[in-house]
Chains A and B, each alone.
Chain A
Amino acid sequence: MIMPILLPLLAAAAQRLLPSSAVRNALAPCSGLGVLAAAILLAVTVTADGPQTGVGLLRVDALSAYLLIVIGAVSLVSGVATPSYLRTESDLGHSDEAAQRRYAVLVQLFLAVMALAVLAANLGVLWVSIEATTVVSAFLVGQQRTKAAVEAAWKYVVISSTGIALALLGIFLLNFAALHADDSARLNWISLVTSAPQLDPAVTRIAVVLLVLGFGTKAGLSPLHSWLPDAYSQAPAPVSALMSGVLSSVAFYAVLRIKVIADSALGVDFTRNLLVVMSLASLLLAASLMLGQRDYKRMLGYSSIENMGLLALGAAIGSPLAIAAVLLHVLGHGLIKSSLFIGAGRIFQLTGSTRIDGVHGLAGRSPALAGAFGLGVLAVIGFPPFSLFASEVGIATAGFAAGMGAVTTAALLLVLITAAALVVHTSRMLLGRVAQAPASVMTGHAETTRDRPGFAPAPTVLSGEGSTAVLSGATPTTVLSGATPTTVLSGTGSATAVAVRAVPKGTATAVRRPGADVWAMVGALIACAVLGIWAGPVGTLLQQATVIVTGMAP
């Protein structure tokens, strides 16, 4: 049971001690693979023999095993992409050996504390490990040491520690209520769930509000979400992948655990209303800020807030179908969003700009990357065959079935607006003529590209078509295949020239090389598509995890 925690810790030690950078580079994907394998082993044990307890403070049941699989899968995607990301960064002169070593150690520690969080048998240990994720990842967000990165790291630490401090207050109050309900009750999940009906409702209500707000902060739910777009856009790409794919899901896992206790202590309505408000606020915020978004990394950040809003809606509905869909959505979103962030990091290395209008005709310059990125965006807005389609339909169906039609309709409208904006922005990046591609120098600053003399606006005909095709339900392939072949043919010739111009010191090969990161994206896309069609053995685990949250099978 301690393997998922121990493996990243060992990897961290190895990263610290091993001299050869080639071996160290291979460690990141290996550690991801190890966590995934350990998670699958645990999942097999749990589905067969039921929950396991270990070393007093650790406990694994179907829900935590499922979350461990999410952690393993996303860290594998991020790990596969890491070596080529780091190599390109050092080729571009953005980071040196020592910085990369520190980075690698911190990433492994980050994985270890997240694994600890989902394995914790105790609300206190869960809190400590989620707080530790902030401590570890703060330096990862500020890794680049630019003004923007340091500012993002400061905001991230202050806002998420404040949120998580509120959660600590909630834990103390819940402990207070538990002690008065039952003398033996402590912060254990099991004893909290069994003694929940005897908890003093008034105290529990305050505690639940604080806990959901606090852990919701870390998940990126409104109202304390404002750190998220900054941190996601400034962190190195593999770290953004981990933060959006796993960290938010781990925090959301804490919300689900709280919900179980709150539902049996206070009835369903209290948490439902709280979560609905947070969900709609997050969706509204994401939709409104997505519309005029100019920065593609921030765009992905707001898309994460939107997806967290959807998860909160699913949790608010709370029927077995909704919870199963929420859990499926966690895995699908983790896979897709991490691959999108890796793609965004790649695009940034290629163009030196994080502005949407700083990227033009990507499909011509780098068809594989553009294809994977485009497919990823289609997956994230819920196109079949990807699993996010199934989970979003599941949440919507459950919402109407539970008599929450008005809320679900409002949420779906907001999701639709966000999706449309996402597609329009992405098509402006991917399509267009390569000849106008920016030859900007790698500066690492978004601001520097702002004043560059204007590019012709993106071919609006194309992007317009793209969005309407999507909205009217046409097949996704028409959007991409309609435009890519021609631009690919006309674009490949100049692609080399652009890449060379984009990089200062003749290190063009590093940027041009279609690295393992594209393979990681493709792998994640395939995994998500397969998951959308056939859940396989994950289905059993999902079912058992749903029983833990709702008490009923889907």
Chain B
Amino acid sequence: MNAGASAQVLNIAAGAFLFTAVLILWRRELASIIDIFALQGVALAVMVAVIAVDEGSVELFVVAVGVLVVRSGVLPWLLRRALSHAGATRRETRPLVNVVASLLAAAALTLLAYAVSQPLVALDPSPAAHAIPVGMAVVLIGFFVLVTRRLALSQLVGFLLMDNGITAVGFLSTAGVSLIVELGVTLDVLLMVLVLQVLKTRIREAFGDTDLGELRGLHD
């Protein structure tokens, strides 16, 4: 693959990465949010694969396959399983911020991400580094989802969105850190999701449903 074509594929994947994040902000149906999240995993894996081809690194290509399996296979599967146990609460009906305002916020956050990432892009003129602001934007949008959604599962998706963004920044900036750290990070994220799932089940046992808006017992 020549340099121009690979840069183009990278840009398309980065665009899809950001677009899926915005879609997640837009949709209310949890089932479709999970589908979009799986698509985002594919976009992330494509980005890593392009970098792997550019650098001719077999190791990185294996990592890309791993990203594909975990982000668009295992994690969405875990989320779907949680959803099928969730019963009636399949829809985010009362987010703290309405859809129009959320989309405007996403635009503002993307601009912010580009502003913050200026020094990063300045340091390295490669096409991969030019896509870093997209990763940053997804981190910020994920954080926004995390703080404005009420359902436990939506918050979980917000957290995973943040994590996707961070992983993207990691790969785009440095082609990943050492393999052992990469493995540790992936393992931690998987465990985190499992922990949150168990807790979610316990919340349902204790509260009846998993609307975190009702979690107001502890405060000062």
B46-88 interface bits toward A, Cβ cutoff 8 Å, 1 = contact, 0 = none: 0000000000000000000000000000000000000000000
How far is it, in angstroms, between the C-alpha of A524 and the C-alpha of B152 when the chains are bound? 41
Residue of A nearest to B120 (CB): A203
How far is it, in angstroms, between the C-alpha of A147 and the C-alpha of B206 when the chains are bound? 6
Would you call B96 an interface residue if the criterion is a C-beta within 8 Å of the partner chain's C-beta atoms? Answer: no
Q: Does A203 lie within 8 Å of B123, measured CB to CB? A: yes
B168-184 interface bits toward A, Cβ cutoff 8 Å, 1 = contact, 0 = none: 01100110011011001
In the bound complex, residues from chain B placing their C-beta under 8 Å from that of A154 are 152, 196, 199-200, 203, 212, 215
Q: Does A148 lie within 8 Å of B217, measured CB to CB? A: yes
Q: Does A145 lie within 8 Å of B220, measured CB to CB? A: no
In the bound complex, residues from chain A placing their C-beta under 8 Å from that of B178 are 122, 124, 186-187
How far is it, in angstroms, between the C-alpha of A134 and the C-alpha of B195 when the chains are bound? 10
Q: Does B174 lie within 8 Å of A158, measured CB to CB? A: no
Contact of B170 among A125, A157, A172 (CB under 8 A): A172
How far is it, in angstroms, between the C-alpha of A202 and the C-alpha of B123 when the chains are bound? 9
In the bound complex, residues from chain B placing their C-beta under 8 Å from that of A94 are none
Q: Does B220 lie within 8 Å of A298, measured CB to CB? A: yes
Number of residues from B at the complex interface, CB < 8 A: 45
* Contact A173 B196, CB 8 Å, known A147-B217, A150-B203: no
Would you call B13 an interface residue if the criterion is a C-beta within 8 Å of the partner chain's C-beta atoms? Answer: no
Q: Does A145 lie within 8 Å of B181, measured CB to CB? A: no
Identify which of residues 526-545 in chain A touch chain B, using a CB-to-CB cut-off of 8 Å.
none
* Contact A142 B180, CB 8 Å, known A165-B159, A173-B169, A175-B174: no
Identify which of residues 156-201 in chain B touch chain A, using a CB-to-CB cut-off of 8 Å.
159, 162-163, 166, 169-170, 173-174, 177-178, 180-181, 184-185, 187-188, 191-192, 195-196, 198-200
Would you call A230 an interface residue if the criterion is a C-beta within 8 Å of the partner chain's C-beta atoms? Answer: yes
A268-291 interface bits toward B, Cβ cutoff 8 Å, 1 = contact, 0 = none: 000000000000000000000100
In the bound complex, residues from chain B placing their C-beta under 8 Å from that of A173 are 120, 169, 173
* Contact A176 B173, CB 8 Å, known A151-B203, A165-B166: yes
How far is it, in angstroms, between the C-alpha of A125 and the C-alpha of B181 when the chains are bound? 6
* Contact A151 B217, CB 8 Å, known A132-B188, A162-B162: yes
The secondary structure that dominates the A interface is helix
Q: Does A203 lie within 8 Å of B119, measured CB to CB? A: yes
Residue of B nearest to A181 (CB): B123
In the bound complex, residues from chain B placing their C-beta under 8 Å from that of A171 are 177
How far is it, in angstroms, between the C-alpha of A127 and the C-alpha of B123 when the chains are bound? 25
Q: Does B124 lie within 8 Å of A180, measured CB to CB? A: yes
In the bound complex, residues from chain B placing their C-beta under 8 Å from that of A298 are 220
In the bound complex, residues from chain A placing their C-beta under 8 Å from that of B184 are 124-125, 127-128
Closest 8 CB pairs of A and B: A202-B119, A124-B181, A128-B184, A176-B173, A172-B170, A131-B188, A230-B218, A135-B191
- 19 A-B pairs with C-beta separation under 8 A: A124-B185, A128-B184, A138-B195, A151-B203, A151-B217, A155-B215, A155-B218, A169-B169, A175-B170, A176-B120, A177-B123, A179-B174, A180-B123, A187-B177, A187-B181, A200-B123, A203-B119, A206-B119, A289-B220
